[in-house]
């Protein structure tokens, strides 16, 4: 969903890269302002290979799908009007060819989240509109977790220069916070997933770079995305009443999410209190 918090998923980037070409210098120095991410030839090749595999996989999924309203399936929702149109056009298709539709939906959602393509919040709304809160919620949590995991491994392979270029300050902050919370890392990651403290896209990309183990990343993502997914999918059931995606996360909703997220860090606070005593 990304995941559910679309407005925190895409942010403006910083800059950075030093002049030393040694691997140690590249790892430790920010890039020069205005410079792009310094991908090596092997990293660029790996990125192109992964992207090609994803596109080929999606092409095969839609190649085997029933041709009825095929053009409508290929349309990605970019706003609420698109979601409403897709709901009207695909309601019958999703009912008659449910397995094909879900396979296509999952492949597109995972692709978008893996390569940081904005718009997954509209896909989540569409799931709620077509499948309801329970079934749609399960579908969104599954695809969002799978997409985040895919993004994690792509970033582990080639993400360091890209993250250092896009979010240099956030990366340094994140690394220092992770270093301070090694013993209760799952609690901290749950808090980040539940609340809009850091963008989900950044968390997906930066986690392998700051050495967050995948099992912790996966567990925190799977559980932490449930509250926001529920909010988005439930809104999809009342799509006609929704005027803007900003209405999904008003002040009251954000307070509730922070309260839920705070529960995850209570064990850490209690442990620190016992330590000081």
Q: Is the pLDDT of residue 229 over 90?
A: yes
Q: Containing domain of residue 207, as a range?
A: 41-274
To 5 degrees, how large is the angle CA 113–CA 119–CA 121? Answer: 90
Residue 21 lies in a domain: no
In a domain, residue 30? The reply is no
The pLDDT of residue 9 is: 44
- Residue 46: predicted pLDDT: 85
Q: pLDDT grade, residue 145 (50/70/90)?
A: very high
Residue 272 is predicted with a pLDDT of 53
14 assigned to some structural domain: no
Domains contained in the chain, number:
1
The whole-number pLDDT of residue 23 equals: 40
27 occurs within a structural domain: no
pLDDT, tens digit, 9 for 90 and up, residues 24-41: 344 444 444 445 676 788
Task: Tell me the pTM.
Answer: 0.80
What digits encode the pLDDT tens for the residues 72-81? 555 788 899 9
Query: Of 3 and 174, which is predicted with more confidence?
Result: 174
């Amino acid at each position: 969903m990304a995941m559910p918090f679309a407005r925190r998923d895409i942010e403006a980037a910083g800059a950075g890269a030093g002049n030393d070409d040694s691997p140690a210098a590249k790892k430790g120095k920010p890039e020069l302002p205005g410079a792009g991410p310094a991908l090596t030839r092997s990293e660029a090749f790996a990125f192109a290979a992964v992207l090609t595999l994803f596109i080929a996989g999606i092409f095969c999924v839609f190649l085997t799908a029933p041709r009825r309203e095929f053009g409508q399936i290929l349309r990605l929702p970019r706003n609420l009007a698109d979601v409403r149109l897709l709901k009207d056009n695909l309601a019958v298709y999703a009912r008659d060819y449910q397995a094909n539709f879900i396979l296509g939906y999952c492949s597109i959602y995972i692709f978008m989240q893996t390569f940081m393509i904005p718009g997954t919040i509209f896909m989540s709304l569409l799931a709620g509109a077509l499948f309801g809160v329970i079934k749609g919620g399960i579908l969104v949590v599954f695809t969002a977790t799978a997409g985040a995991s895919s993004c994690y491994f792509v970033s582990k392979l080639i993400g360091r220069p890209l993250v250092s270029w896009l979010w240099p300050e956030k990366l340094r902050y994140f690394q220092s916070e992770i270093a301070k919370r090694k013993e209760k890392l799952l609690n901290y990651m749950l808090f980040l997933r539940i609340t809009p403290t850091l963008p989900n896209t950044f968390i997906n990309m930066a986690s392998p770079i700051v050495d967050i183990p995948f099992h912790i990343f996966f567990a925190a993502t799977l559980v932490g995305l449930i509250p926001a997914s529920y909010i988005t999918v439930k809104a999809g059931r009342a799509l006609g009443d929704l005027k803007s995606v900003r209405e999904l996360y008003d002040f009251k909703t954000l307070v509730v999410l922070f309260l839920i997220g705070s529960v995850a860090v209570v064990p850490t606070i209690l442990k620190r209190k016992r330590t000081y005593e």
